[in-house]
């Protein structure tokens, strides 16, 4: 005891490990993780046992079997003799196609409508408001049915098809138009197009640098457009104008030749675009309103026209606020495209449904649909987050 | 305190999970008797087979099969919950236990009998796949349909037979595939497709039921496949499978022996040992099935025999006026043949 008082060291017993909050936390987490894994394993095991008890086939082997059903429209060649895996691929491509087009069109329409809602013109403002309020509040499925019925009912039968331009035929089978027959010169034209795009980008960068250095402006927009259109055109003329068109004509029941846009695809695209566009309009409006009014005042004090102010000052700052909710809208549009099954467009869900029904393997089919939509959604999120980081303004 | 909350949540999860393990293990009949009703999957709307009338009551051939089951089990015709199912939903609904039996114009095929884990009761309607076209197209036979746009329901043997037929005959077609029958027929009658394909009986029924002018349309005479339609149950429950089979056979046997709704009470006094066994005067058949001895008597008294059901829903007493054809008794040249009830 004298030694303790002299040196000042008080020997203490080490506290038991469960008094340490970090160790406690780790133990609880391991326990919880174990429970989650056990739960998951139990669900999977239960499913497999029940499937086996009722002798329902399971496993992904069915993907190699012959599909034996036809698909109405597809971007790649498909026949009923192909496998289920190829049918899935056709459905996936259809979904991606309509989603990609829908995203582009909805963004354009939504942006225009969003800016229109802030216009100083009373009529434009009111029309935009009516558009947004109407199409935001009606369920998408009803809108799809409406557009599909309109396109079906208003167009005539193939034998009485309208012909607004020679070779372009509109009937209730869709919109049929002539396409050029493939020719070797077209590869050169594509190459020229690629070169034209690169040239346009290079010109615009050079023009920006020159403007930053000397202040003189260069019509890089017009020059770029000229390059993109002109270079393929030059190749086209040099190759002797190889334009043989595949004209559609009515043979028997349907149009043979040319390319067609079916009423189902058109209805789905129009419905998705208008519906999602109304949400995008509100997001864009919110983004623009989020930019402080002082910015627009300063811009007009500097002599910028309202259009230039919107394009150069307001929208770049508004993008910070617009891009995150836009991601949600794009994901929403992609998932909403699965409503195609109700109007007869062969997208992924529709084909997976048919497959599940013919093979009886509902669990695998649903798992595949979920995995595909999850992958698409994660990809869209990834791209949008990268873009978000690129346009994010660095604050002081 | 926090630990207690966690343990409480855990106990709750385990409790809820314990319900998942009690899967139906061959006890469909017990479950039905306990709940007091049969859950019967029916089509969403085919005139003559299953359609709600103006008061919202379901009536038709498929409905009467369900009602016959209810009469045999409970002695009352209406202890049935009707679940309208599209062709795409029907098998998952049956496999998962949502319905006990499908009376849904389902074709008996090998794939469905094996890979889908289903069992088929005896065929109640022999049909074939046909085509319906507008008369103004001037088409006389199925071989003239090269290049046509064809409306078809997904998830059916129709879809597969169509692809096979056109491939075998080296013809092309464009399918328009829509799940709901209402939308499908709306598309056909508005001219979106040239041809409608399906079971010939269904086509004839829908022509009268949905077309604004039925005389503008004709069902072609070609039958490109066999479509034997039968009620369906799940694998794994032999007792319930037996009940459904013999309820159907009793309907056919009753017509063969001349037992009708009107004379079934008099037939109780018959001297024919076959009739006595069937109607339960000689006990034993009901006990073997797990039902009341008067199971067949109740069926015939409340619903009628096979011929009466056919006439009332699809045959001479209706607008459809289907011929018995293959659906007549074997003694009259058809295919309806009941196994002996003994």
Between positions 27 and 56 of B, the ones with CB within 8 A of A are none
Contact A54 B183 (CB under 8 A): no
Q: What per-residue confidence (pLDDT) applies to A362? A: 82
Q: Which is more confident, A170 or A257?
A: A170
A254, A256, A350 member nearest B154 (Cβ)? A350
Contact A356 B92 (CB under 8 A): yes
The alpha carbon of A70 is separated from its chain's Cα centroid by a whole number of angstroms, namely 26
Q: What per-residue confidence (pLDDT) applies to B23? A: 40
pLDDT band at B303 (very low <50, low <70, confident <90, very high): very high
Decide if B13 touches A, using CB distance below 8 A. Answer: yes
Query: Which residue is closest to A46 within chain B, CA to CA?
Result: B21
C-alpha distance from B96 to closest chain A C-alpha (Å): 10
Cα–Cα separations (whole angstroms), residue A130 to A115, A121, A140, B155, B210: 14, 15, 17, 41, 37
**Where are the strands (E) in chain A, listed by range?**
162-165, 168-171, 174-177, 179-180, 245-246, 249-251, 254-256, 259-261
C-alpha distance from B219 to closest chain A C-alpha (Å): 18
Most B CBs within 10 Å: which of A50, A250, A253, as the mutation test of the B interface? A253
The alpha carbon of B29 is separated from its chain's Cα centroid by a whole number of angstroms, namely 19
Q: Which is more confident, B186 or A277?
A: A277
Say how many Å lie between the first and final Cα of chain B, rounded: 68
Most A CBs within 10 Å: which of B5, B86, B116, as the mutation test of the A interface? B116
Between positions 197 and 236 of A, the ones with CB within 8 A of B are none
Q: What per-residue confidence (pLDDT) applies to A246? A: 79
Contact B179 A263 (CB under 8 A): no
Contact B115 A359 (CB under 8 A): yes
Over 90: is that where the pLDDT of A228 sits?
no
All structural domains of chain B with their residue ranges: 127-226
Decide if B175 touches A, using CB distance below 8 A. Answer: yes
Say how many Å lie between the first and final Cα of chain A, rounded: 62
Decide if A70 touches B, using CB distance below 8 A. Answer: yes
pLDDT band at B233 (very low <50, low <70, confident <90, very high): very high
Q: What per-residue confidence (pLDDT) applies to A109? A: 96
- Mapping DSSP to helix (H, G, I), strand (E, B) and coil, where does residue A326 land? helix
Q: Which residues of B327-340 are buried (b: 16+ CB within 10 A; e: fewer)?
A: bbbeeeeeebebee
Most A CBs within 10 Å: which of B13, B149, B158, as the mutation test of the A interface? B149
**CA dist., res. B187 & res. B195, Å (int):** 10
**CA dist., res. A169 & res. B270, Å (int):** 73
- Rg of chain B over Cα atoms, rounded to whole angstroms, equals 23
* Least confident range of A194-198, A275-279, A280-284: A194-198
Q: Which is more confident, A17 or A335?
A: A335
Q: What per-residue confidence (pLDDT) applies to A325? A: 93
Q: pLDDT tens digits, residue range B108-153?
A: 999 889 888 899 999 999 999 999 999 988 888 889 888 889 999 8
Region A210-227 average pLDDT = 88
Which are the contacts of A199, defined by CB distance < 8 A and separation ≥ 6?
A224, A227, A231
Region B205-221 average pLDDT = 88
Contact B178 A343 (CB under 8 A): yes
Q: What per-residue confidence (pLDDT) applies to A135? A: 96
Tokens of B285: 């058949």
Decide if A152 touches B, using CB distance below 8 A. Answer: yes
**CA dist., res. A5 & res. A11, Å (int):** 12
Most B CBs within 10 Å: which of A48, A70, A173, A366, as the mutation test of the B interface? A70
pLDDT band at B20 (very low <50, low <70, confident <90, very high): very low
Q: pLDDT tens digits, residue range A181-210?
A: 777 778 888 888 899 999 999 999 999 899
C-alpha distance from B19 to closest chain A C-alpha (Å): 12
Contact B154 A343 (CB under 8 A): no
pLDDT band at B25 (very low <50, low <70, confident <90, very high): very low
**CA dist., res. A328 & res. A363, Å (int):** 28
C-alpha distance from A53 to closest chain B C-alpha (Å): 7
Q: What per-residue confidence (pLDDT) applies to A61? A: 82
Q: pLDDT tens digits, residue range A233-271?
A: 888 888 777 677 778 887 777 777 778 888 899 999 999
Biggest CA-to-CA distance, chain A: 116
Q: What per-residue confidence (pLDDT) applies to A332? A: 94
Query: Which residue is closest to A45 within chain B, CA to CA?
Result: B21
Q: pLDDT tens digits, residue range B98-110?
A: 999 999 999 999 9
Name chain B contacts of A359, Cβ cutoff 8 Å: 111, 115-116
Region A57-75 average pLDDT = 83
Contact B235 A56 (CB under 8 A): yes
All structural domains of chain A with their residue ranges: 21-48, 182-243
**CA dist., res. A147 & res. A264, Å (int):** 9
DSSP string covering B113-145:
HHTT-EEE---SEEEEEEEEEEGGG---SGGG-
Contact B149 A42 (CB under 8 A): no
Query: Which residue is closest to A82 within chain B, CA to CA?
Result: B163
**CA dist., res. B255 & res. A51, Å (int):** 39
**CA dist., res. B272 & res. B99, Å (int):** 38
Name chain A contacts of B154, Cβ cutoff 8 Å: 69, 350, 353-354, 357
C-alpha distance from A168 to closest chain B C-alpha (Å): 19
Question: Which of A169, A147, A148, A151 is CA-nearest to residue A160?
Answer: A169
Decide if B171 touches A, using CB distance below 8 A. Answer: no
Cα–Cα separations (whole angstroms), residue A251 to A158, A263, B13, B137: 10, 20, 65, 13
pLDDT band at B21 (very low <50, low <70, confident <90, very high): very low
Contact B324, B310 (CB under 8 A): yes
Region A326-339 average pLDDT = 93
Burial of A140 (0-12, 13-18, 19+ CB in 10 A): middle
Q: What are the backbone dihedrals phi and psi of residue B236, each rounded to the nearest 5 degrees, phi first?
A: 95, 0
User: What is the predicted ipTM?
Assistant: 0.70
Decide if A161 touches B, using CB distance below 8 A. Answer: no
Name chain B contacts of A79, Cβ cutoff 8 Å: 167
C-alpha distance from B14 to closest chain A C-alpha (Å): 10
Q: What per-residue confidence (pLDDT) applies to B232? A: 95
Q: Establish how many alpha carbons lie within 13 A of residue A308's alpha carbon, considering only the half-sphere containing its beta carbon.
A: 9
Q: What per-residue confidence (pLDDT) applies to B80? A: 93
* Least confident range of A374-383, B52-61, B294-303: B52-61
Cα–Cα separations (whole angstroms), residue B295 to A21, B28, B233, B246, B303: 70, 17, 20, 10, 12
Region B242-260 average pLDDT = 94
Name chain A contacts of B174, Cβ cutoff 8 Å: 70, 72, 254
Query: Which residue is closest to A152 within chain B, CA to CA?
Result: B192
Query: Which residue is closest to B137 within chain A, CA to CA?
Result: A253
Q: Establish how many alpha carbons lie within 13 A of residue A51's alpha carbon, considering only the half-sphere containing its beta carbon.
A: 18
Decide if A29 touches B, using CB distance below 8 A. Answer: no
Name chain B contacts of A153, Cβ cutoff 8 Å: 190
Q: pLDDT tens digits, residue range B49-82?
A: 998 888 888 899 999 999 999 999 999 999 999 9
Q: What per-residue confidence (pLDDT) applies to A291? A: 93
C-alpha distance from A367 to closest chain B C-alpha (Å): 15
Most B CBs within 10 Å: which of A345, A354, A366, as the mutation test of the B interface? A354
Contact B87 A357 (CB under 8 A): yes
pLDDT band at A56 (very low <50, low <70, confident <90, very high): confident
Region B174-182 average pLDDT = 87
Region A161-173 average pLDDT = 81
Is-above-0.95 flag for pTM? Answer: no
Q: What per-residue confidence (pLDDT) applies to A31? A: 95
Q: Which CATH class is domain B127-226?
A: alpha beta
C-alpha distance from A255 to closest chain B C-alpha (Å): 9
Average predicted confidence (pLDDT) for chain B: 88
Over 80: is that where the pLDDT of B6 sits?
no
Q: Which residues of B33-52 are buried (b: 16+ CB within 10 A; e: fewer)?
A: eeeebbbbbbbbbbbbbbbe
B23, B112, B160 member nearest A69 (Cβ)? B160
DSSP class of residue A16? P
Q: Which residues of B53-69 are buried (b: 16+ CB within 10 A; e: fewer)?
A: eeeeebbbbbbbbbbbb
pLDDT band at B22 (very low <50, low <70, confident <90, very high): very low
Q: What per-residue confidence (pLDDT) applies to B136? A: 87
Decide if A157 touches B, using CB distance below 8 A. Answer: yes
Biggest CA-to-CA distance, chain B: 82
Average predicted confidence (pLDDT) for chain A: 87
Q: At what angle do helices A263-290 and A122-137 cross, to 10 degrees?
A: 120
Contact A354 B154 (CB under 8 A): yes
Query: Which residue is closest to A251 within chain B, CA to CA?
Result: B147
Over 70: is that where the pLDDT of A112 sits?
yes
């Amino acid at each position: 005891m004298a030694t303790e008082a002299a040196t000042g060291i008080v020997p203490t017993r080490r506290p038991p490990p469960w008094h340490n909050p970090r160790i406690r936390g780790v133990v609880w987490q391991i326990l919880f993780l174990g429970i989650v894994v056990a739960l998951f394993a139990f669900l999977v095991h239960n499913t497999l046992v029940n499937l086996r008890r009722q002798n329902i086939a399971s496993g992904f082997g069915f993907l190699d079997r012959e599909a034996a059903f036809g698909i109405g429209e597809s971007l790649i060649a498909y026949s009923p003799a192909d496998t289920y895996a190829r049918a899935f691929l056709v459905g996936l491509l259809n979904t991606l196609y309509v989603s990609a087009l829908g995203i582009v069109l909805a963004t354009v329409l939504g942006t225009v409508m969003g800016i229109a809602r802030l216009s100083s013109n009373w009529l434009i403002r009111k029309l935009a408001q009516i558009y947004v309020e109407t199409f935001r509040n009606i369920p998408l499925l009803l809108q799809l049915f409406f557009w599909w019925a309109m396109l079906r009912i208003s167009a005539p039968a193939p034998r009485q098809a309208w012909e607004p331009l020679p070779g372009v035929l509109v009937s209730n089978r869709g919109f049929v138009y002539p396409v050029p027959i493939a020719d070797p010169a077209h590869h050169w034209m594509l190459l020229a197009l690629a070169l034209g795009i690169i040239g346009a980008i290079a010109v615009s960068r050079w023009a920006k640098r020159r403007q930053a250095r000397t202040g003189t402006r260069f019509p890089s927009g017009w020059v770029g457009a000229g390059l993109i259109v002109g270079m393929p055109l030059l190749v086209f003329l040099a190759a002797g104008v190889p334009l043989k068109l595949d004209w559609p004509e009515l043979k028997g029941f349907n149009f043979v030749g040319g390319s067609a846009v079916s009423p189902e695809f058109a209805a789905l695209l129009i419905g998705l675009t208008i519906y999602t566009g109304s949400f995008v309009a509100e997001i864009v409006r919110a983004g623009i309103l989020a930019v402080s009014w002082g910015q627009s005042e300063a811009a007009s004090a500097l002599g910028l026209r309202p259009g230039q102010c919107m394009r150069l000052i307001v929208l770049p700052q508004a993008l910070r606020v617009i891009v995150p909710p836009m991601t949600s809208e794009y994901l929403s549009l992609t998932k909403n495209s699965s409503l195609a099954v109700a109007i007869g467009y062969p997208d992924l869900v529709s084909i997976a449904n048919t497959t599940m029904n013919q093979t009886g393997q509902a669990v695998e089919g649903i798992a595949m649909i979920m995995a595909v939509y999850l992958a698409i959604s994660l990809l869209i999120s990834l791209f949008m987050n990268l873009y978000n980081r690129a346009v994010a303004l660095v604050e002081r | 305190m926090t630990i207690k909350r966690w343990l409480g949540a855990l106990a709750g999860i385990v409790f809820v999970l314990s319900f998942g393990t009690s899967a139906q293990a061959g006890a469909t009949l017990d479950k039905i008797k306990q709940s007091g009703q049969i859950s019967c999957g029916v089509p969403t709307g085919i005139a003559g087979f299953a359609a709600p009338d103006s008061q919202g009551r379901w009536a038709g051939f498929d409905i009467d099969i369900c009602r016959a089951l209810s009469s045999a089990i409970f002695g009352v015709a209406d202890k049935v919950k009707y679940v309208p199912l599209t062709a795409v939903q029907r098998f998952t609904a049956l496999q998962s236990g949502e319905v006990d039996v499908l009376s849904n114009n389902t074709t008996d095929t090998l794939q469905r009998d094996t890979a889908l884990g289903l069992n088929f009761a005896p065929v109640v309607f022999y049909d074939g796949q046909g085509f319906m076209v507008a008369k103004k197209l001037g088409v006389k036979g199925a071989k003239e349909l090269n290049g046509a746009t064809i409306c078809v329901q997904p998830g059916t043997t129709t879809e597969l037979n169509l692809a096979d037929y056109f491939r075998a005959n080296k013809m092309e077609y464009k399918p328009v595939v829509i799940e709901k029958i209402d939308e499908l027929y709306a598309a056909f009658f508005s001219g979106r497709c040239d041809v409608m394909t399906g079971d010939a009986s269904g086509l004839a029924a829908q022509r009268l039921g949905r077309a604004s002018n039925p005389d503008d349309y004709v069902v072609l005479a070609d039958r490109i496949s066999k479509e034997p339609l039968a009620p369906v149950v799940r694998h794994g429950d032999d007792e319930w499978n037996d009940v459904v089979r013999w309820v159907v056979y009793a309907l056919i046997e009753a017509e063969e022996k001349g037992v009708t709704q009107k004379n079934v009470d008099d037939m109780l006094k018959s001297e024919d040992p076959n009739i006595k066994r069937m109607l339960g005067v000689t006990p034993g058949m009901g006990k073997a099935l797990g039902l009341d001895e008067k199971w067949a008597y109740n069926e015939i008294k409340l619903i009628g025999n096979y011929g009466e059901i056919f006439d009332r829903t699809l045959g001479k007493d209706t607008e459809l006026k289907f011929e018995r054809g293959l659906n007549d008794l074997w003694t009259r040249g058809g295919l309806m043949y009941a196994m002996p009830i003994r």
